[in-house]
Amino acid sequence: MNALKAQWAVYAGLIPSEPMPEYTKAWSYTSDDYAADGNKRGALFFKAASAADRYANDLRDGGLNWVTTSYIWM
């Protein structure tokens, strides 16, 4: 079973606490990814984390009023 191990989600908008769906994006890291990384947080983990960080940074430079990233490890 390919279970979810981690997820990053980026939310952004103009009105505080009201995410705009067109800017909401998520990256997932699965148990298959974890196994491919040698059962540790490896290259695939950091690739997803970096992609979420880059996207959030791009949105911060785009004139929105707020941007937030959530992360969970399961």
Q: Which domain holds residue 41?
A: 4-73
Q: Give the tokens for residue 70.
A: 């959530």
Instruction: Judge contact between 5 and 32, C-beta under 8 A.
Output: no
C-beta atoms surrounding 18 within 10 Å:
10
Per-residue pLDDT 10s for the chain (74 aa) are 899 999 999 999 999 999 999 999 999 999 999 999 999 999 999 999 999 999 999 999 988 999 999 999 99
Q: Sort 47 into a burial class: Cβ within 10 Å, 0-12 / 13-18 / 19+.
A: middle
CA distances from 58 to 1, 5, 8, 23, 37 (A): 34, 26, 15, 11, 27
Number of structural domains, the chain?
Answer: 1
